[in-house]
Structures are given as structure tokens and as C-alpha cells.
């Protein structure tokens, strides 16, 4: 993951014995990062957010901002995969939790397994393609709301 030119490298480990370092899970809403990575990643985002910081109405979410509309700017964030770099937009990074509060949809994983999970908010408006034989994944930007 990168915020601007600040890159955060994940450990190469997986509980499944593969070389990967994050699980892509459409059944998990938020993206879970190792605690140290999350601390640096979220701090880098918060330093450039030009919105009033708010206390989250949802205990799990730490980085929340006051905003009633969706016209706020976010820093350039890139998810780096083995074969593809994915430029994330506002809808991939933040969720509206109440009418006037948006929160970062990434959290630190404090569980014993320290597993990293790329949740289903992050690939919003992307078509995801997997090549199991080559162990590769690609993301194509799309307007999934269009008919």
C-alpha cells in the first residue's frame, strides 16, 4: 500500500502456506492490515485529510471525518499487488457511517493470526480477474452502478 510516495511494505506471510501477504475476501467489509502497517497507513492519510476529525459512532472505526456530501478529496492511495497496482478512490477508502460522518474503511487486525484482508469496500467499482494457474490477480476500473 502507498499513500502518495510513502510505501508501506507488508510481510510476506500467509496462514495458508503461500507467498501472498493479503487475502482478498468479498465477504469481509473492511480491509484489515497488520497493526504497525495500519498505524502508519492511517496516519499518512489523516495528515492530508482536509476535514474536521470526528469520533466514530462505530467503535471499530478510528479515522472519521465530518462530511455531509461526497465531494471531499482523498490522498492518492495505491494497493500494490504482484502483477497490478490499483489506484484507490474515495469510495474504496471511506464509508459513510451516519449522515454527516465518513470513516476510513481500513482497520488494524489485532487478532492472534495478524491476517491481512482486502475487504469488499476496497475493490468497489473494479472488475477483479484471477488467473489461478499463474497466481495473479488484476483489477479493471469500472462503473458498476451503470446499467
At 2-33, the pLDDT tens digits run 999 999 887 655 555 566 788 899 999 999 99
Is 4 within a domain?
no
Residue from 61, 59, 69 nearest 99 by CA: 69
How many residues comprise the chain?
147
Sorted by sequence, the CB contacts under 8 Å of residue 93 that are 6+ apart come out as: 45, 74, 77, 104, 105, 106, 121, 122
63 in a structural domain: yes
Task: With cut-offs at 50, 70 and 90, classify the pLDDT of residue 73.
Answer: very high
pLDDT of residue 19: 65
Task: Please indicate, yes or no, if residue 35 is contained in any of the structural domains.
Answer: yes
Cell readout for 118 is 482486502
Query: In this structure, are strands 64-66 and 53-54 parallel, antiparallel, or unpaired?
Result: antiparallel
| CATH (domain of 34) | 2.40.70.10
Mean pLDDT of 90-98: 96
Amino acid at each position: 500500500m502507498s499513500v502518495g510516495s510513502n510505501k508501506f511494505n507488508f510481510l510476506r506471510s500467509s496462514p495458508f502456506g503461500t507467498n501472498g501477504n493479503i487475502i482478498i475476501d468479498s465477504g469481509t467489509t473492511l480491509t484489515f492490515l497488520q497493526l504497525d502497517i495500519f498505524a502508519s497507513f492511517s496516519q499518512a492519510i489523516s495528515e492530508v485529510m482536509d476535514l474536521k476529525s470526528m469520533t466514530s459512532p462505530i467503535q471499530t472505526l478510528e479515522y472519521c471525518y465530518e462530511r455531509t456530501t461526497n465531494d471531499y478529496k482523498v490522498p492518492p492511495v495505491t494497493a500494490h499487488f504482484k502483477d497490478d497496482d490499483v489506484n484507490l478512490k474515495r469510495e474504496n477508502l471511506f464509508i459513510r457511517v451516519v449522515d454527516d460522518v465518513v470513516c476510513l474503511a481500513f482497520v488494524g487486525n489485532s487478532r492472534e493470526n495478524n491476517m491481512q484482508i482486502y475487504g469488499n469496500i476496497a475493490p468497489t467499482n473494479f472488475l477483479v480477474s484471477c488467473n489461478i494457474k499463474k497466481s495473479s490477480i488484476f483489477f479493471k476500473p469500472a462503473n458498476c452502478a451503470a446499467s
